[in-house]
Amino acid sequence: MAFAFVSGDPALDLAGTVGSRRDEPVDLLAAPADLERWVAECDDLPGGVTADLAGFESALSLREAIYRLALDRVLDRPFDPAGLEIVNGTAAGPVPTISLSDAGLHMSGDLLSVLSQIARSGIAVLADPHACLKECGRAGCTRIYLDRSRGARRTWCGMDECGNRVKAAAYRARRRASTTAEGRGPR
């Protein structure tokens, strides 16, 4: 399955690499190579990092901590202390270096700095009282995203990921209902 970067923040996108968390979780990060690919595909992070097993495990524990804290925000309850400890501890690490050129911003760093960058980004979102965090409206998706739309009217994590699927399912259900109704009509 392809990675989706639709949550509006790399920390939330990392948390979103586990889908269907309440039913049958689907984990897109099964091995360090998956994490390397995810980091490379994320626009807001340095490219070309390598992940060993220890770094991979740190990334997974950061991911789960971010998810717990994001869910705490969605449910408007106090943050989980163990989650805070992991995210704050990771954020205290070295950060990637950035440089400016005519090509724009270039970011470089190793996996440790990438995780720190993700944690810092997550803290900024989770600490922002104006940030509108929502869980995707498709039953079973469980992805938490940042709704930056006007009036915060977004319902789905992404149109391709969930919105179109829900609309297609509703269309099929309407068709089924109208076919059944026709079948019951006068002959």
Q: Provide the binding-site residues for Zn ion, judged by CB under 5 A.
A: 136, 138, 141, 143, 157, 162
Q: Are 116 and 103 in contact (CB under 8 A)?
A: no
The least CB distance from residue 144 to Zn ion, in Å, is 10
Judged by CB, which is closer to Zn ion: 136, or 146?
136
Chain-centre distance for alpha carbon 181 = 41
CB 109 within 8 A of CB 96: yes
Q: How far is the CB of 96 from Zn ion (least distance, A)?
A: 29
Nearer Cβ to Zn ion, position 4 or 86? 4
**Taking Cα atoms as reference points, which of 82, 91, 105, 84 lies closest to residue 10?**
91
User: Considering beta carbons, is residue 63 or 143 the nearer one to Zn ion?
Assistant: 143
Minimum CB distance to Zn ion smaller for 120 or for 143 = 143
Residue for token digits 């340095």?
46
CB of 143 to Zn ion, least distance (A): 5
Q: Which is nearer to Zn ion, 36 or 161 (CB)?
A: 161
| Separation of alpha carbons 115 and 63, rounded Å | 9
In the complex, the smallest distance separating the C-beta of residue 157 from Zn ion, rounded to whole angstroms, is 3
Nearest approach, Cβ of residue 11 and Zn ion (Å): 17
DSSP string, 13-73: HHHTTEESTTSS-EES--SHHHHHHHHHH-TTS-SS----HHHHHHHHHHHHHHHHHHHHH
Residue pair 145/8 in contact (Cβ under 8 Å)? The answer is: yes
- Which residue number, 138 or 154, has a Cβ lying nearer to Zn ion? 138
DSSP-derived pairing of the beta strands 18-19 and 26-27:
antiparallel
Name the minimum Å distance from CB 74 to Zn ion.
Answer: 13
